Structure 1
Amino acid sequence: MAANQTPAKLVNESIVEFLTTEMVEAMIRTIHDDAFKPGDRDLALSNAGDGAGGPKDYSEGDEAMEAVYYKLEMIGFRVGERLIERISKDRMRFTDNLDVVKFVCKEVWMFLFKKQIDNLKTNHRGVYVLQDNNFRWFARMAHDQSSAESVKKVTPYLWFPCGILRGILSNLGIASVVVAETSSLPGCTFQIKIAKTT
């Protein structure tokens, strides 16, 4: 290594996975804590061991889980905006949206998850579907492959990468909406809808 060259900064993959898991759990805990009135918090903590009076089990449509979604997606958005600056700094400008999405499927996914996306589909009208058959952040999670309960529990872990994708696209000049779903773990699907410009 040359004397003026700084060493590359590396982060262990496990640390990133643990950080992601803890971030999601922390967001959910803060929402659960905020759901209690000040007087109810002590009662809930004292009854938490017997299952009576513990935090409410939020379903996906709840206002509280919408707040969790918003926070995780916005954190991901900021990460994606900064991340793409590093990944694409030596690239030439992209010519169209499809080139950008292909870049995300190949190079960005490789950078984030050490593999390319398994399948990319488009309707050529601004909708792109990215299929990852073995999503890396689900690989170490205990789950029943087709259980509805498992799918419900892992869904919040998709909100952060949705934000990352949206931030990446935004920094490359593409306004979009990104949603993700899973029906068979550890696979998942990300759908990117490009906003129409007028």
Structure 2
Amino acid sequence: MDEAIFEFLHMEIVNHVYSTAKKDEQDLCISQLESLGFRVGQSLVERFTRDWPRYKDELDTMKFICKDFWMAVYKKQVDNLRTNHMGVYVLQDNRFRLLVQLSSGKQYLEHSPRYLALSCGIIRGALSNLGINCVVTAEVSAMPSCKFQIQIPR
């Protein structure tokens, strides 16, 4: 039941932000959702890691995000983690739960960024609270598969 409530809340947050924006303010909606997600991610990771020691390095932190944090938030682990060892990480989720409810038709592909902005913020907020400042973007080539790219400035 909790999963359905989380998915419904996510959809309603996105719909509320877009329905209250004026036509010329639609670009600000993604930024608003990402900012909201950032605050949520900071709070969640603080709660999850309260009694844990800090991670040794960046890669250990990313592994925590892919396994424990993803499991707590999205009820599964990331399917794939890749890195170029130069500050770029790609997290792939082949069945991202916030996209599963959307149709897999091509017409919904263009709306996917609005449903991923909150998650990008959650990831960025969690990493920020773990001492990693980064930029997080999401890419969808086929629903409901999603890739989150995390770039850490050097």
TM-score calculated relative to the size of structure 2: 0.95
Aligned to 1:17: 7
Instruction: Note the C-alpha offset of 1:154.
Output: 2.1
Aligned to 2:147: 189
Aligned to 2:17: 27
Amino acid paired to 1:105: C
Instruction: Note the C-alpha offset of 1:90.
Output: 2.1
Aligned to 2:26: 65
Aligned to 1:176: 134
Give the fraction of aligned pairs with identical amino acids, expressed as a percent.
47
Instruction: Note the C-alpha offset of 1:24.
Output: 0.5
Matched ranges for 1:112-151 at <5 A = 112-144=73-105, 147=106, 149-151=107-109
Instruction: Note the C-alpha offset of 1:143.
Output: 2.9
Distance 2:26 2:145 in 1: 22
Amino acid paired to 1:16: F
Task: Please tell me whether residue 75 in structure 1 is matched to residue 36 in structure 2.
Answer: yes
Q: Choose between structure 1 and 2 for higher RCO, CA contacts under 8 A separated by at least 6 residues.
A: 2
Distance 1:29 1:128 in 2: 33
Instruction: Note the C-alpha offset of 1:66.
Output: 2.4
Aligned to 2:121: 163
Q: Which runs of 5+ in 2 are unaligned?
A: none
TM-score calculated relative to the size of structure 1: 0.75
Q: CA RMSD in A?
A: 1.3
Distance 2:20 2:57 in 1: 41
Distance 1:65 1:122 in 2: 33
Residue-pair matches, total: 154
Give the number of the structure whose alpha-carbon radius of gyration is greater.
1
- Flag the structure with higher helix content: 2
